[in-house]
Amino acid sequence: MASISAKPQLFKILGSNPSRSAGARRPASIRCSTSQPPRPRRYRITLLPGDGIGPEVVSVAKDVLSVAGALEGIEFSYSELLMGGAAIDTVGVPLPEETLAKAKESDAVLLGAIGGYKWDGNAKPLKPETGLLQLRAGLGVFANLRPASVLPQLVDSSTLKKEVAEGVDLMVIRELTGGIYFGEPRGFGTNDAGVDIGFNTEVYSALEIDRIARVAFEVARKRRCKLCSVDKANVLEASMLWRKRVNEISSEFPDVQLSHMYVDNAAMQLIRDPRQFDTMVTNNIFGDILSDEASMLTGSIGMLPSASVSGSGPGLFEPIHGSAPDIAGQDKANPLATVLSVAMLLRYGLGEENAARRIEDAVIETLNKGFRTGDIHSSGMVLVGCKRMGEEVLKSVDSQKPVAALG
C-alpha cells in the first residue's frame, strides 16, 4: 500500500515542536473537520518483533498504532519479518536480505528487541547484534533520539532521591552509524610479543559530525535552546575534531546555548544533577552508554522509546530495553517503551503529530489510573502484565474522539 506523499525531510519533521513532557502537556488541540472527511493517509510499516519479549511488546504497540491512526484518518499496512536470533534460527543470518529490502521500501520500521543467551556464543557474523548494526547502516539512520523524562506519576520509581529526579526532561542525540562500532581497521591479531590482541578504530569525518550536530541543534532549538556536546577531547583525536566541528556548526544556531563536557564528567553529572541537561549530543559509543544511564533516572528502562532517523528514507523506532529472555513469554514485560516508540514513529517518521499525542495522552491516562507492570510497580498501584497494560492503553486511546467528530 503506497504512501500518499513523499516522506518529509528530517528537519521538517523536527520542526513539529513536540511537547517535552507528556505529564505536563496540555490536551492536544485538533482542528475541526470539514463537511467532507479528508482522504485517508496510508503508510507501510515494517514490523521486526525480534527475540525475547520483542514479539509481545510489538504486538501491543501495533494495536495501539492502528487504533490511534484510525482516529486520525490514517491507514497502515504491515509487513512482519524476521530479524536477530529468530532470523538466525530460521534462515541462518541475523538480517535476511528480504528484511532489509522490505524495510527500505516502507515508510517506517518498528523493532522490538534482539538477542539472548542462546546466541551469545555465536561467531560475530552470526550474532543478533550484528544484524542490528547492519540494519542501521542499511537504512542510513545516523541520528538516534532518546528522550528521558521523569513523569510525575513515576517519580517514586526512580532510584534517585525525589528532589533529584523530579522534573528531569532531557534528550540524548546519539550518532548511530559511525565511530568505534563501524570504524576500520578492526579485528584480532597478535602484537610484537606474540600476545593475542583485539582492536577497534574510533574514527569520524567532518561530514558525519556536522550532520549529527545540525540535528542536535535543531532539536535543542525546539526544546529549551540548550545543547551540551559530550566528548573526550582531552585525550582522543576523534573527539578533538568532534569538538572543533560542533563549535563551527554552532555559528549557524546563535539562539542555542552550546556547552561541552567530557564523557566521564557527563556520566557523573547525570546522577548528581540531571536537571542541568536539556539536549545532549555525542558519539556512538558514548551515546550508547549515557542514554542507558539516563533511562534509569526515570525508574525503568521499560519506559524509554527511541527514534533513529536519516535525512530521507524510513526511520527505525524501538524501545531501548533489551530482549529480556528471562521473562520472555511470561506476560511480565512492560510494553510502554514500545508504545511510546510508535508515538515517536508517528511524530518523527511520518509527521503525524496529532496521532502521536493521542498515544502519549493514553499512556499518561493509563498511568493515572494506577496500572503498573512489575518494573514500575509500587505500593497501592494495580500490578498488571504486558497484555493487560496494552489493553488499558487501548481503552484510553479508543475512548478519544475521532478527528471527524471534533468540533
Question: Residue 114 to residues 51, 106, 117, 191, 320: CA-CA distances in angstroms?
Answer: 5, 20, 11, 34, 11
The closest of 232, 240, 344 to 287, measured between CA atoms, is 232
Q: Which of 292, 331, 369, 387 is catalytic?
A: 292
If phi > 0 it is left, if psi is from -120 to 50 it is alpha, else beta; for residue 201 that is: beta
How many CA atoms does the CB half-sphere of 274 hold within 13 Å? 29
Residue 331, classified by CB atoms within 10 Å of its CB into exposed (0-12), middle (13-18) or buried (19+), is middle
Q: Is residue 181 annotated as a catalytic residue, yes or no? A: yes
**Pairwise CA distance, residues 125 & 114, whole Å:** 14
Return the C-alpha cell found at 15: 520542526
Q: Which of 43, 62, 181, 361 is catalytic?
A: 181
Q: Is residue 51 annotated as a catalytic residue, yes or no? A: no
Crossing angle of helices 263-272/284-295, nearest 10°?
10
The strand pairing partners of 319, in sequence order, are 305
SS3 86: helix
If phi > 0 it is left, if psi is from -120 to 50 it is alpha, else beta; for residue 380 that is: left
Q: Which helix (H) or strand (E) holds 56?
A: helix 54-71
Q: Which of 51, 169, 288, 375 is catalytic?
A: 288
Q: Is residue 288 annotated as a catalytic residue, yes or no? A: yes
Q: Is residue 255 annotated as a catalytic residue, yes or no? A: no
Task: Decide: 396 and 371 in contact? Cβ < 8 Å.
Answer: no
Task: Decide: 54 and 113 in contact? Cβ < 8 Å.
Answer: yes
Tally: H helices and E strands in the chain: 13, 14
Q: Which of 43, 232, 348, 375 is catalytic?
A: 232
Kindly list the catalytic residues.
181, 232, 264, 288, 292
